[in-house]
Amino acid sequence: MKSKIRFIICLLYGLIFINAGLNFFFGYMPPPNHLPDKMQKMNAAFMGIGWILPLIACVQIVGGVLFIIPRLRFIGAIMLFPVLIGILLTHLSAAPEGLPLVLILLGINLWIMYEHREKLRLMIK
- Give pLDDT tens digits for 2-59: 889 999 999 999 999 999 999 999 989 988 888 888 888 888 888 889 899 999 999 9
Confidence of residue 119 (pLDDT cuts 50, 70, 90): confident
Give the mean pLDDT of 75-88: 96
Do residues 105 and 13 lie in contact, with contact meaning Cβ atoms separated by under 8 Å?
Answer: yes
Confidence of residue 86 (pLDDT cuts 50, 70, 90): very high
More confident residue, 88 or 96: 88
String of b and e for 87-111 (b: at least 16 CB within 10 Å)? bbebbeebbeebeeebeebbebbee
Q: How many domains does the chain have?
A: 1
Q: Residue 121: which residues within 8 A CB-CB, separation 6 or more?
A: none
Give the mean pLDDT of 81-102: 92
| Residue 96 pLDDT greater than 90, yes or no | no
| Residue 108 pLDDT greater than 90, yes or no | yes
More confident residue, 120 or 89: 89
Question: Residue 52: which domain range?
Answer: 2-124
